[in-house]
């Protein structure tokens, strides 16, 4: 199958059609219109086979995941996702694989009202890069740099499940089939917190998505905002599957530093704390307060039931062995 | 070296700073402002090692090339390039290689006033995806679908040199060192026709960049515009290096169907023909008329000095063997 046929078959005329897309797939560029008084948010994430996913990942999950991780970055800015470009490098053309992959991709794209406006299909080792765009009312974006002393630190949902899914497979942990299914679903089909991100606008002081683990990602906020923080680790929400599978002591590396969960971590002033938590509840999001911002220059202190708590592990970083 | 250090060292604070970039590298997304009464043009191109370039390509050339091929797509729409996202997948961290690669990238970015606003650095087989964005006054974009019967077909410069560079290396053609250097420069450091593309606005009826060869790329215009065309192949411009290396008969596959030249191919009405050619000359671009648009449904006729001319070869297509 030739590149043009492949694009026509799996991408052109499929998925949703947004009114702000003036020209979609099929020319040298796509053309879109950005509404007045808006800013455009742009993010790019690559998934490499064998690095970011196992070779035998269900292709439908991969299609979902590659979009989800990008939409999660838009969510962390409070942006409304609009358009994505897809660069798909494939070792060969496997029609069944492509059908499932694009089904997963179009499914999540439709759910979030996102249009695939173009891309590039090339031959080579399986690698997928998405460049996602979204819009935000001017000046309303949530950055990593706005946390203030006294702000409370929240997380939108349980952490550690994606790591548990990966390690259950790698190490063969003692996990029930039901719990394995639960955490695998969170790893394969992560939910970008798109609505929550938009609710945070004007209320949260900073936000980030938890892709590298709570400790690493909160660290970005602390350094960018030039503040310290204290986190009571026992307050970090965990799933029933996590509780049933690992002892409290075993859990910490997953909960605090594994990443891949794609929950939002945000800070909010004492004044707006309850308003925001209630608004999120209306969207079905049970955000939990896990700590507070303190004066300082980027340091994070962890406590466990009032005692200092030390965790050596860090967020996942590419090339960190070199 | 860790991902964060790598990004700080080679990307953050380097290159130009545009006033329409509200937030650059270092947060979940970049934030940019699109001027009113403009459309945003978006394109993505991937280069895979061993498929789009030889493994020993000078890294400075690769940095140039990956941006150039994307800017060429923006040029073909008549867009003014503004921002790019870079997804860089590297097998390992080679500081010398990265220094040269980013030098090549920043050099061309600065020349065209383009800012690198973000990206993703991952570990894996060498693959580079750029997503480039540009702006166009509303309604002024050049598409593939506007060619009209009677329009003249132009190309902005000599074709076939990039193919000659590749085959000189693969086959060991009989080529002088000077000519080899000339064509290699065109392959390694292609010039996206950014200024020419903007000159075409409001004058050309359609445009495309020659990435897959004249026959294949003109074919896109013909099918999208639902017209036929005739091209006098002897009128297609070729370089001195090409003339000195290959006989006329040997040249045709390079000139007509090799691709990778990144000249613009465009159509213009009889009324605007001279105006446009003169305006391009002011920008140092000697566009050559190579044929004319005829009534029809997507067919291309080639002639050589008045006789029908047949060429079996086609533009380069990924997966075309499958």
pLDDT band for position B189 (50/70/90)?
very high
**Structure confidence at residue B138 (pLDDT):** 97
The B residues from 151 to 190 touching A (CB cutoff 8 Å) are none
Span A9-53, pLDDT tens digits: 888 878 889 999 999 999 999 999 999 999 999 999 999 999 999
Instruction: Tell me the residues of chain A between 18 and 57 that have a Cβ less than 8 Å away from chain B.
Output: 22-23, 26-34, 36, 39-46, 48-52
Contacts of B119 in chain A (CB under 8 A): 44
Decide if pLDDT at B194 tops 60.
yes
* Residue with the two structure tokens 């794209």: A109
Rounded CA separation A106/A114 (Å):
9
- Residue A25: φ, ψ to 5°: -60, 140
CA-to-CA dists, residue A259 to A77, A93, A162, A290, B45, angstroms: 18, 32, 7, 16, 29
Phi, psi of B140, deg, nearest 5: -100, 5
What is the percent of chain B with per-residue pLDDT over 90, rounded to a whole number?
Answer: 88
Q: Please name the helix (run of DSSP H) or strand (run of DSSP E) that holds residue B109, with its range, or none.
A: helix B95-111
- Rounded to 10°, the helix A59-77/A177-188 angle is 60
* Level-2 CATH architecture, domain B152-309: Alpha-Beta Complex (3.90)
- If DSSP codes are grouped into helix, strand and coil, which group holds residue A85? strand
Helix or strand or coil: residue B129?
strand
Q: Report how far residue B122's alpha carbon sits from residue B304's, in angstroms, rounded to the nearest whole number.
A: 50
Q: Is A56 annotated in some ligand binding site?
A: no
Q: Please indicate whether, in this complex, the C-beta atoms of A1 and B143 are within 8 angstroms of each other.
A: no
- Asked whether the beta carbons of B215 and B315 are under 8 A apart, the reply is yes
Residue-wise pLDDT tens digits, A254-265? 999 998 999 999
Q: Is the dihedral of CA B130, B131, B136, B139 positive or negative?
A: positive
Structure token pair of residue A232: 């009571």
Instruction: Compute CA distances A291 → A54, A153, A229, A288, B291, whole Å.
Output: 35, 5, 7, 9, 71
Answer whether B95 touches A (CB < 8 Å).
Answer: no
Q: Which of A29, A192, A193, A260 is the best residue to mutate to test the B interface, defined by the most B CB atoms within 10 Å of its own CB?
A: A29
Q: What pLDDT shows up at residue B202?
A: 94
Residue of A nearest to B31 (CA): A41
Instruction: State the pLDDT at residue B220.
Output: 97
Contact B142, B201 (CB under 8 A): yes
Q: Write the pLDDT tens digit of every residue in B52-77.
A: 998 999 999 999 999 999 999 999 99
Q: Chain A residue closest to B4 (CA)?
A: A317
Mutate to test the interface with B, among A9, A23, A26, A27 (most CBs of B within 10 A): A27
In angstroms, the CA A136 to CA A198 distance is 9
Q: Does B226 touch chain A (CB under 8 A)?
A: no
What is the Cα A101 distance to its own chain's centre? 19
Q: In what order do the strands lie in the sheet with B204-209?
A: B204-209, B264-268, B152-155, B288-294, B228-232, B300-304, B307-309
- Beta-carbon contacts below 8 Å between A and B: 232
Ranges of CATH 3.30.1330.10 domains, chain B = 3-137
> Phi-psi category of A218—alpha, beta or left, where left has phi over 0 and alpha has psi -120 to 50?
alpha
What is d(CA A262, CA A157) in angstroms, rounded to the nearest whole number?
Answer: 9
Share of chain B above pLDDT 70, in %: 96
Is B261 annotated for ligand binding? no
Q: Is A167 helix (H, G, I), strand (E, B) or coil?
A: helix
Distance from B22 to chain A by nearest Cα, in Å?
A: 8
The minimum CA-CA distance between A174 and chain B, rounded to whole Å, is 31
| Alpha-carbon Rg for chain A in angstroms | 20
Residue ranges of chain A assigned to CATH 3.90.650.10: 152-308
Model confidence at A317, in pLDDT bands (50, 70, 90)? Answer: low
pLDDT exceeds 80 at position A4:
no
Note whether B233 and B255 are within 8 A (CB).
yes
**Chain B residues 121-140 with a CB less than 8 Å from chain A:** 121-125, 127, 129, 131, 133-134, 136, 138
Pick the CATH number of A152-308 from 3.90.180.10, 3.30.420.300, 3.60.21.10, 3.90.650.10: 3.90.650.10
Whether the CB of A94 is below 8 Å from some CB of chain B: the reply is no
User: CA-CA distances (angstroms) from residue B207 to A184, B190, B193, B311?
Assistant: 48, 18, 12, 23
Q: Is B86 on the interface with A (CB under 8 A)?
A: yes
Q: How confident is the model at residue A197 (pLDDT cuts 50, 70, 90)?
A: very high
* CATH 3.20.20.70 is the classification of domain B3-137: no
d(CA B251, CA B192): 23
- The C-alpha atoms of residue B125 and residue A293 are separated, in whole angstroms, by 41
Kindly write down the DSSP assignment for every residue of A184-225, as one continuous string.
Answer: HHHHHS----HHHHHHHTTTEEEEEE-SS-HHHHHHHHHHHH
| A89 contact B CB<8A | yes
Which of B5, B6, B29 best tests the A interface by mutation, with the highest count of A CBs <10 A? B29
**Interface ipTM > 0.85:** yes
**N- to C-terminal Cα separation, chain B:** 40
| Largest interatomic CA distance in chain B | 63
pLDDT of residue A124: 95
């Amino acid at each position: 199958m030739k590149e043009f046929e492949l694009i026509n078959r799996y991408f052109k005329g499929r998925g949703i059609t947004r009114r702000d897309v003036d020209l979609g797939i099929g020319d040298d560029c796509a053309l879109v219109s950005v509404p007045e008084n808006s800013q455009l948010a742009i993010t790019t994430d690559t998934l490499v086979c064998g690095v970011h996913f196992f070779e035998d990942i269900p292709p439908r999950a991969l299609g979902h995941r590659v979009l989800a991780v990008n939409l999660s970055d838009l969510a962390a800015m409070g942006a409304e996702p609009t358009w994505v470009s897809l660069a798909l490098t494939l070792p060969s053309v496997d029609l069944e694989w492509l059908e499932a992959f694009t089904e997963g991709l179009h499914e999540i794209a439709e759910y979030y009202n996102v249009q695939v406006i173009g891309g590039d299909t090339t031959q080579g080792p399986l690698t997928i890069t998405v460049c996602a765009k979204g819009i935000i009312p001017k000046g309303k974006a949530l950055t990593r740099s706005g946390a203030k002393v006294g702000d409370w630190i929240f997380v939108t949902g349980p952490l550690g499940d994606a790591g548990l899914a990966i390690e259950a497979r790698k190490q063969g942990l003692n996990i029930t089939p039901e719990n394995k299914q639960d955490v695998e679903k969170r790893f394969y089909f992560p939910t970008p917190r798109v609505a929550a991100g938009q609710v945070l606008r004007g209320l949260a002081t900073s936000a980030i998505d938890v892709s590298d683990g709570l400790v690493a990602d909160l660290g970005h906020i602390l350094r960018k905002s030039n503040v310290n923080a204290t986190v009571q680790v026992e307050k970090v929400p965990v799933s029933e599957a996590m509780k049933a599978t690992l002892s409290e002591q075993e859990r910490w590396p997953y909960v605090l530093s594994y990443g891949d969960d794609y929950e939002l971590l945000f800070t909010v002033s004492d004044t707006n704390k309850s308003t925001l938590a209630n608004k999120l509840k209306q969207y079905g999001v049970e955000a939990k307060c896990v700590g507070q911002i303190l004066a300082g220059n980027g340091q994070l202190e962890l406590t466990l039931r009032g005692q200092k708590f030390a965790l050596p592990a860090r967020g996942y970083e590419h090339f960190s062995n070199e």
